[in-house]
Amino acid sequence: MADIKVYALSYCPWCKKTRRFFDERHIAVEVVEYDLADKPEQDRIVAEIKALSGGDVTFPCTIIDGTAVLGHHPDRYIALLGLPE
Amino acid sequence: MDRKALFRERFGRIVALLGYKFSPDEELVNDLLDAEVELERRYGAPYCPCQGRTGVRSEDMRIVCPCIPYHRAHYDAMKRCWCGLYVHQDVDDPDALTQIPLSELDL
């Protein structure tokens, strides 16, 4: 089973779309809501996302078996997981 | 005029000068403006609902809506802002546009 983590903001519509993508397919994911995390965890997430994004702290950020996808990209989730189109 | 109507009216005028307009996706615009009203209530400014505040003022000011001027080259390359609230004025189909991180663009 794939190891999937979604960094999200609780009020971000694109984060909701990403979460819905996995929920609808009954795919288990670990969701980390940045805005609800404590400060040390937020600082860790900021560093991780900045390194991936080129400097901005953008959401959603989905990490599938170590591969990061920034933004809402169903096509990439499908490709990385080998799901049927 | 409530805050959401004020954002719609004021931000619309500002982004028009930058060559942008509100997304034709009215449901998305509605959700994003609702989120910005709540973010302003909680944190004092209408922050972008899809970018994280770090607590560093110089960084957080770069995501106060409309944040297009701080990300001009990036957003012009996407023809939309990160959260999709605004698109280039010639865009009719916002679903054809996707979020592309700066790290994946050759700017």
CATH number at residue B82: 3.90.460.10
Q: Taking residues B86-98, report their average pLDDT.
A: 97
- Tens digits of per-residue pLDDT, A21-75? 999 999 999 999 999 999 999 999 999 999 999 999 999 999 999 999 999 999 9
Query: Is 3.40.30.10 the CATH classification of the domain at A4-81?
Result: yes
- State yes or no: pLDDT of A2 exceeds 90: no
Which residues of chain A from 24 to 83 reach within 8 Å of chain B, CB to CB?
34-35, 39, 42, 45-46, 49, 52-60, 70-73
ipTM of the modeled complex? 0.94
Q: Write out the two tokens for A28.
A: 């288990």
A52: nearest CB among B55, B71, B103? B103
Q: Which residue has the tokens 């779309």?
A: A17
Please state the domain count of chain B: 1
Per CB-CB distance under 8 Å, the chain B contacts of A53 are: 101-103
Query: Would you list the domain boundaries of chain A?
Result: 4-81
DSSP B37-86: HHHHHHHSS-B-TTB---S-HHHHGGGBSS-GGGGHHHHHHHTB-TTSSE
Which residue of B38, B63, B98 is in closest CB contact with A71?
Answer: B98
pLDDT single digits (tens) B29-56 = 999 999 999 999 999 999 999 999 999 9
pLDDT at B1: 85
Which residue in the set A11, A35, A56 is minimally distant from B102, CB to CB? A56
3-state SS, residue A82: coil
Q: How confident is the model at residue A84 (pLDDT cuts 50, 70, 90)?
A: confident
Q: Are the beta carbons of B83 and A14 separated by less than 8 Å?
A: yes
* pLDDT higher than threshold 80 for residue A85: no
Whether A15 shows a pLDDT value over 90: the answer reads yes
Alpha carbon of B49: minimum distance to chain A alpha carbons (Å): 5
Domain extent for B59: 3-104
Whether the pLDDT of residue B79 is over 80: the answer is yes
Would you state the pLDDT for residue B107? Answer: 87
Q: Are B34 and A13 within 8 A, CB to CB?
A: no
Residue B21's Cβ-count burial label (10 Å; 0-12, 13-18, 19+) is: middle
